[in-house]
Amino acid sequence: MKKTLLPIFFTISTLFSPLYAQYSYQPTEENLKARQEFQDNKFGIFIHWGIYSMMGDGEWILHNKNLNHKEYETLASAFYPSKFNAAEWVSYVKAAGAKYICITSRHHDGFSLFHSKYSPYNAVDATPFGRDILKELADECHKQGIKLHFYYSHLDWGRDDYTPLGRTGRGTGRTTQGEWKTYYEFMNNQLIELLTNYGSIGAIWFDGVWDQDASPNFDWGLEEQYKLIHSLQPSCLVANNHHVVPFPGEDIQIFERDLPGENKAGLSGQEVSRLPLETCETMNRTWGYRMHDTAYKSTKTLIHYLVKAAGKNANLLLNVGPRPNGEFPDKAVEQLKEMGEWLNEYGETIYGTRAELGPPRDWGVCTHKSNKLYVHILQLNDKGLFIPLTEKKVKKVVYFIGKQHVKYRQDENGIWITLNQLPTEIDCVLELDI
């Protein structure tokens, strides 16, 4: 009898113990407000930049080529991005119609793009450039009204106190083993720097937890780390690219290279939570600068991805990998500009909207804002369109551009629309008054 009751007792006592209480997370008012603003913003630019850009072969080269990490680190002493100009970067981002930047403050190679007291392997102390790139970018973002997010890698391919070694970075020549404790303190100290010296930070975007997926009980100390972030900046959103459902303390849910609920790239099978959502994607194929990666998606594809993300209630975080000299690649600049031109016209149907979910439609998505419903027709070879919308009474249907009236009929099943002509635009938007 006693034996069978014991596990039940432990389960119940754990549920009510202080240990469990520690895991429950109540976001503050300002945090909830920041989540709304984040969702309203819809479009951000991811920037992957570091000393790896000099090799022109992506941000994973240290791992991919099994380079010796000490040899790799010497790249820093040649890093002199003579064309780096934070004002120019921010102006490209603004021209794209994006509202925030998320930049790699420290990627898996361990190089810090900012001045850190806790590692000399940083943009100021290890390079002849000697400038704090994140400081210049932060000042410019704040000046030009762009929110700044910091990507921060949980895993490190060079430090011996990132232990045990994970699934990646096993061939970088580490022969000694340090203590996890010093690595954890190092990360937290850097996070304090990032959240103290660069003004208001919109989000910390963690990445790397998947490196230890062979040991599912690996304790990253996330709760404490998240609390530290929220205590320093309550409105800073915590995000983690761990590819599973969000943990307590996280404020947004991230998807990599897929729309929420889809898993074409194989990194995003997780369930979709009720948190604000974001999906990140590359313009070409690689995050960090890769000289031979010229396979850029078309601007139309990128716009469709942004629209579809909005139709799934998610933001798009679209990546640029600057050249080693600090410039954005020409093709990226061109496409950002084209996206911005499109958003200049259609932004009203994207920014500040929420998805009108409901059954998936093969022709496109719907977004809504106050009494307007926007029907985004991305692909349709027909003039007839049916939307199973029953709760809302439609008062008028027009083309968003030009405002010509469109014939429709609403019955108990939904709305039957007859377009004036076959859609040919990138996104044929109808505006419904409801």
Write out the residues near ligand JFZ by the rule CB under 6 A. 48, 59-60, 207, 210, 241, 256, 280, 287
Specify the residue, 321 or 364, whose C-beta has the smaller distance to ligand JFZ: 321
Distance CA 4, CA 158 (A): 49
Residue 323 CB, nearest distance to ligand JFZ (Å)? 17
Q: CA nearest 193: which of 137, 232, 155?
A: 232
**Phi, psi torsion values for 349, nearest 5 degrees:** -90, 0
In the DSSP assignment, the letter for residue 22 is: T
Measured from the CB atom, is 143 or 167 closer to ligand JFZ?
167
CB of 59 to ligand JFZ, least distance (A): 5
Alpha-carbon torsion angle 193, 195, 197, 202, nearest 10 = 140
* 3-class SS of residue 57: strand
CA angle centred on 408, ends 404 and 409, rounded to 5°: 160
Beta bridge partners of 433: 372, 396
256 or 431: CB nearest ligand JFZ: 256
Helix (H) or strand (E) holding 255: strand 253-256
| H-type alpha helices, 233-297 | none
Residue 356 identity: E
- To ligand JFZ, the closest distance from the beta carbon of 80 in angstroms equals 24
Q: How many residues does the chain have?
A: 434
Minimum distance from residue 3 beta carbon to ligand JFZ (Å): 42
Least distance to ligand JFZ from the beta carbon of 321, Å? Answer: 10
Element (H, E) at 71: helix 69-73
Cα 93 to Cα 141: distance, rounded to the nearest angstrom? 10
Report in angstroms how near the CB of residue 429 gets to ligand JFZ at its nearest: 30
In the complex, what is the shortest distance from the CB of residue 334 to ligand JFZ, in angstroms, rounded to a whole number? 23
What is the closest distance, in whole angstroms, from the C-beta atom of residue 282 to ligand JFZ in the complex? 8
Closest approach of ligand JFZ to the CB of residue 386, in Å: 38
Exposure string of 264-282, with b = 16+ CB inside 10 Å and e = fewer, is eeeebebebeebbbbbbbb
Choose between 281 and 431: whose C-beta lies nearer to ligand JFZ: 281
Complex with ligand JFZ: residue 59 or 73, whichever CB lies closer: 59
Q: Closer CB to ligand JFZ, residue 287 or residue 346?
A: 287
Q: Of 152 and 342, which CB lies nearer to ligand JFZ in the complex structure?
A: 152
Q: Return the number of the residue (31 or 286) whose C-beta is nearest ligand JFZ.
A: 286
Q: How far apart are CA 52 and CA 111, in angstroms?
A: 9
DSSP state of 55: G
User: Which residue's CB is nearer to ligand JFZ, number 6 or number 295?
Assistant: 295
124: burial class by Cβ within 10 Å (0-12, 13-18, 19+)?
Answer: middle
